Structures are given as C-alpha cells and as structure tokens.
Structure 1
C-alpha cells in the first residue's frame, strides 16, 4: 500500500485558527468593542493568505512571503501613510521576484525529469544486457528474441525515453500554478499522490493513464484559481477540502462495476475563491 508521508504541519489547524480569529473579531465588533477599521480591509486578506500559506508549508513557500509582503506594504501605505518611497517599485520588483522563482522552480523540475529519464535509460540498458546474455546461451531463445525485437521496432516501442510537453513519468505530483497555467499528464503506474497549488492560476491534471494500489493523498490548495482533475472512473475519490467562497464539482462518469476499494485517492486542502472540478472519461 502506497502512502504519502504525512506532513509535520497540518495546514487545516492553521486555517481553523484563522477562521476562529475572524469570527472572534466580528463578534467583538458586534457587541461594541473597538476594533480598528484596518483589521477588515483587503490588504489584511493578503496578509492572512500569506500567513496561512507560510504556516501550512513550514515557511518554505515563496507565494506566502509574496502575499505577506504585498499585504503589509499596502496596509502600511493605505492606513498609516507609510509609503517607504518604494510605491513605484512594488509591482515591478514583485513581478521580477515571481519570474525568478518560476525560472528556478522550472529548472529544478527539469532536473528531476532528467534524473528520471537517466534512471529509465539505465534500466532499459540493463534489461537489454540480460536479454543479450540469455540469447547467447540458448540459440532458440535468440531467434525468438530477435523476432520480438523486430516487432517492437516496427511498432515504435523500445525507442528510448521521450519527454513530451506536459507528460510526466514521476510517481508523485508537485504542481505550483502561480499566476500561470499548468497542464500535466501522469503516466506512472505507481502513483503516490503529491501536492497541487493554484494561486491566481490554473492546473489541468490528467491521471487517466496512471495507476496505483492502496491510498494516495493529494494536497490541493487553490486561491483565486482553478484545478481540473481527470481520473479513471473506477478510482475511489474522497474529498476532505475546506471551501470558502469556492466550488467543488464532481462530474465523474461512474461505470456499472462501481469503484475499486483498493484504489483510494484522498483530496485534502483548502479552496479559497476558486474551484476544483473532478472528471472522468
């Protein structure tokens, strides 16, 4: 049974404290307690999103730092008149920082894919070496192997690892769609779950060709974005996400045989001003 290693930091607890704090503030304001007006302004929304993202990802997410910085700056400028002389540079610097992050993240992703390709090619070479040794010891087996090799060549199989745009042979998801769109088709037969983050962007994840056995957990965090998840119709999809001003639609096509109890996907996370769509063909 494949299980994704549980994170040391449960983001749902942090999110619960944030909702609790908002409720307490609204209640105190209703009963007459003085609550500063800036507490309920839109820059505070950015600050809360940033803090939530940082706590959830153990202060290892660039998106959290960016939201916290923008929220703090606009709050200081709009409510306290503190511009710090950087007003005209905020958005250019923010876009530059975001661009650098996306480039570095993409390079890391390419390095992982190159490593997967290298391991795949090594395994293929080992298999060919074993087949060659076996063929040299038994002449009849050699004839059979040559026939199979000819058929494989004619059908286009065995031509080596080919990386196609949007196609991944990794066993787990690691998607960050921040101010961008991501299309990914998973081809692994040992799917282990992973994470999907969509912030002011979208992600289309195709798992129709993937397979696994056991329980796989996918952490889904959507903020002002959308995610479409395509899964095989016999997978057992269980959603445990928190929705706030968001939509979650299950448009799967269920076949007559029902779901497979040995293939369970658990969706966890938070959807804030966004949407998650689950489909199957």
Structure 2
C-alpha cells in the first residue's frame, strides 16, 4: 500500500520546522551574547518574515502563503525600525484585505487559464463543472462534489471554515487540488480507497488523515498542494 494514502510526507515540513527552530536558537544565543543588536532583530514580526521567506524559498516563491506572512511581519516591523511612528497598525486590516484580494484575483485568473487549457486538451467529456473553485473568507462553506470526472481545483480559506464532500465524486488518474488556509480550517471527506499525496507546507498548523485504512487505488490519486498557516486540514471518510 502506498504510504501516501495514510501519512503526509513530513520530510520537507520537518526541514522547514528544523530551520525555524535553528533560527530561533541562534537569535536567542546572539541576544545572550550582548552584541547590542537592534531590538527588532529578535521580535516576532522578524520571525514571521523569516518563516515567510523560507516558505517562499522552498516553493520557488509561488503561492500566496509566504507573501502574506512576510507582509504581515513587515507591517509590524516598520514602526520598530523607523525613527518615527507611522502608526501603520491602524491600516493593517484594510491593507491585508486588499493584498489578499489582489492575490486571489491573480491566482483565480491563472488557474482559470490552466483549467481551460486542460479542458481544451482533454476529451470532450471534460467540463468546467469538473473543476472546483472555493473561496471562503470570514464565513463557512459546505459543498458536496458530484463530478464523476473531477479534474482538481483551488480551495482558499481565510478566517473561516470549508467542508468539501467527495464521497459521490470520482477521479481518473492523478488530479491536483490546491489548498490555502490561513487562520481557518479545511475538512475534506474523501473516499478511503483514493490515494492521497500531501505536499502542503504547514506553519503553526497541521494536517491529519482520519480515513479508514484500506488498500489505495493506483488509478485514483488526489494530490494536495499549497500551504496551511495558523490553521488545519483534515481528511476523513464515512
């Protein structure tokens, strides 16, 4: 049985976590050495920037997770670095929402072009209904996927929750589902015989597979890609 069906590949996430812990340890060591470094070097906004940079480096600076983390850290760090205060914190949420909106529009446009290319190059049975586009912000989404020729899609959840049920859906071969969650959760109800490969970066979050243990089908592979920041992704079956 393919091990991906039950356990995500934590090797890359383990390296990422190790690098973060190493950086924190080095920062504490430098602080204890009294080298008179600027106080903001050891601040939590700097930690967010470092984590965002490492995530971006690992993913060749693709996706939105690394950028949002770096942006949040930068906003809170500016006032500590500048000799005067711009009080940027009061503009924090409007700016964050604007940035998230721009990133989501860009990602959706890019993925729509990719899915149209897939439809054009595939059999005549493929249709837009075979692709999933789900965006949840400050709310909740509950959807049952019925496509018998599911081709993949994009799921974005921020400050909310998304529940997707694939028990009545079917896939052929390998399909990719891009997931991005920040301060939220994504619950996927997936048939237990699907082989699930997980390639999701987690930062202060987690991924858990609660499905029943059965032999995985090599002809039905669901690949999860993306990022999980201050949130969680859960897989289960009925």
How far the C-alpha of 1:274 sits from its partner, in A, is 1.9
The verdict on how the C-alpha distance between 1:52 and 1:209 changes in structure 2, with shifts beyond 3 A counting, is farther
Would you say the 8 A contact 1:15–1:52 is kept in 2? no
Partner residue in 2 for 1:191: 150
5+ residue gaps, structure 1: 1-11, 125-167
Q: Deviations over 1:62-103 (max 9, x none)?
A: x655544442222122454543365544434544x2685599
Q: Which has the larger radius of gyration?
A: 1
Determine which structure has the larger strand proportion and give its number: 2
How far the C-alpha of 1:230 sits from its partner, in A, is 0.8
Tell me the number of residue pairs that the alignment of Structure 1 and Structure 2 aligns: 214
Partner residue in 1 for 2:6: none
Note the 1:46-195 alignment, pairs <5 A: 46-48=48-50, 50-51=52-53, 56=59, 58=61, 61=64, 65-78=67-80, 80-84=82-86, 86-95=88-97, 97=98, 101=102, 169-171=129-131, 173-195=132-154
Note the 1:254-269 alignment, pairs <5 A: 258-269=215-226
Q: Deviations over 1:8-37 (max 9, x none)?
A: xxxx97995785365145236427554644
CA distance in 1 between partners of 2:201 and 2:133 (Å)? 20
The verdict on how the C-alpha distance between 1:178 and 1:81 changes in structure 2, with shifts beyond 3 A counting, is farther
RMSD across aligned C-alpha pairs, in angstroms?
A: 4.3
SS at match of 1:71: helix
Q: Deviations over 1:151-172 (max 9, x none)?
A: xxxxxxxxxxxxxxxxx8233x
The verdict on how the C-alpha distance between 1:13 and 1:246 changes in structure 2, with shifts beyond 3 A counting, is closer
TM-score, normalised on structure 1? 0.55
User: Which of 221, 229, 232 is equivalent to 1:272?
Assistant: 229
Partner residue in 1 for 2:172: 213
Would you say the 8 A contact 1:185–1:206 is kept in 2? yes
Question: Are 1:23 and 2:52 matched, yes or no?
Answer: no
The verdict on how the C-alpha distance between 1:252 and 1:214 changes in structure 2, with shifts beyond 3 A counting, is same
CA distance in 1 between partners of 2:211 and 2:204 (Å)? 23
SS at match of 2:76: helix
CA distance in 2 between partners of 1:85 and 1:240 (Å)? 38
Extract structure 1 runs of 4+ deviating beyond 6 A. 12-15
TM-score, normalised on structure 2? 0.63
